[in-house]
């Protein structure tokens, strides 16, 4: 099945007061897990080519693998570049990605605006929406001054107005990974203030390990795309370890069990986000 329009998927989520899951693959089996979860849950899904798989196999091979697995399925999907640096964004456009995240959050604010605006100009000329990030997201259990990491509301308003991005990833207490210590509660009030200021759908990266009630509150406040990886990767690992704990077994057996557990973990995320049962085909049939 061909890719679906990412703008329409997020528009449906915004109008329906739910969010769409965006998940990273790491090899063939994890790609299959995400696609099969979307089929079983009848959910749209963002298949994210991210920062782990690109150094492992290269952007082109990662994209081709993802496209092949997805096209052979009945899933409704978008192939999305996650945290793309400058050069990689333009390579992704040439390859055929239909959704791009350009990450200039590490740059000085003015430079982030300037480079993001250029990416938006090029991507929009090909009909491709752009996600960008403002604020900083620490690793799990990293000790930080949260006030210096949070997305500034006034800066977010100016950033969106001057760049024309379609979706904005924000920092409101989220982390990369799953914290072992007590997690920082999400600043839901800040989410509301940013949403009111920018008027475009918001994204939260690092949604693994976030309590369900905070996920629901973030959705109600204006978040319509959640990026999650660690929880799914741990489910895949648990399946492999469960098979290998039985003694000498084929690698394929272990990978198959990991894939099945990741499918179930992904479906649970889709149900939590409210996108299960929201595939475009089902929505059209209901209208």
Lookup: tokens for 219? 């959705």
Cβ count within 10 A of residue 182:
7
82 is catalytic: yes
Asked whether the beta carbons of 40 and 46 are under 8 A apart, the reply is no
Using the structure block, give the residue that is written with the tokens 């209208």.
Answer: 287
Chain length of the chain: 287
Burial readout 36-71 (b: 16 or more C-beta within 10 A, e: otherwise) = bbbbebbbbbbbbbbeebbeeeebeebbebbbebbe
Lookup: tokens for 5? 């329009």
The burial of 180, by beta-carbon neighbours within 10 Å (0-12 exposed, 13-18 middle, 19 or more buried), is given as: exposed
Three-point CA angle 209, 201, 141, nearest 5°: 25
Which residue among the candidates 12, 82, 166, 231 is catalytic per the annotation?
82
CA-to-CA distance for 162 and 220, rounded, in angstroms? Answer: 26
Lookup: tokens for 256? 């198959």
Q: C-alpha 76: how far from its chain's center?
A: 15
Give the residue numbers annotated as catalytic, written as ranges. Answer: 82
């Amino acid at each position: 099945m061909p890719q679906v329009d990412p703008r329409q998927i997020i528009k449906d989520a915004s109008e329906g007061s739910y969010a769409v899951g965006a998940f990273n693959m790491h090899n063939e089996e994890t790609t299959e897990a995400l696609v099969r979860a979307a089929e079983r849950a009848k959910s749209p899904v963002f298949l994210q080519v991210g920062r782990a798989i690109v150094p492992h196999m290269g952007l082109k091979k990662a994209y081709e693998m993802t496209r092949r697995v997805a096209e052979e399925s009945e899933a409704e999907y978008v192939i999305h570049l996650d945290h793309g640096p400058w050069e990689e964004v333009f390579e992704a456009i040439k390859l055929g990605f239909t959704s791009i995240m350009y990450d200039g959050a590490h740059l000085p604010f003015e430079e982030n605006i300037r480079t993001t605006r250029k990416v938006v100009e090029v991507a929009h000329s090909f009909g491709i929406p752009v996600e960008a990030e403002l604020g900083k997201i620490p690793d799990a259990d990293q000790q930080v001054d949260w006030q210096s990491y949070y997305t500034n509301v006034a800066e977010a308003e100016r950033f969106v107005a001057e760049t024309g991005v379609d979706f904005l990833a924000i920092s409101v207490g989220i982390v990369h990974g799953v914290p072992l210590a007590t997690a920082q509660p999400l600043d839901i009030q800040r989410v509301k203030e940013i949403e009111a200021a920018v008027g475009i759908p918001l994204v939260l990266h690092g949604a693994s390990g976030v309590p369900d009630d905070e996920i629901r509150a973030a959705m109600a406040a204006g978040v319509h795309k959640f990026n999650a990886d660690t929880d799914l990767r741990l489910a895949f690992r648990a399946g492999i370890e469960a098979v290998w704990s039985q003694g000498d077994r084929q690698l394929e057996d272990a990978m198959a069990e990991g894939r099945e557990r990741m499918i179930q973990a992904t479906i649970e995320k889709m149900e939590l986000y409210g996108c299960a049962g929201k595939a475009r085909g089902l929505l059209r049939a209901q209208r």
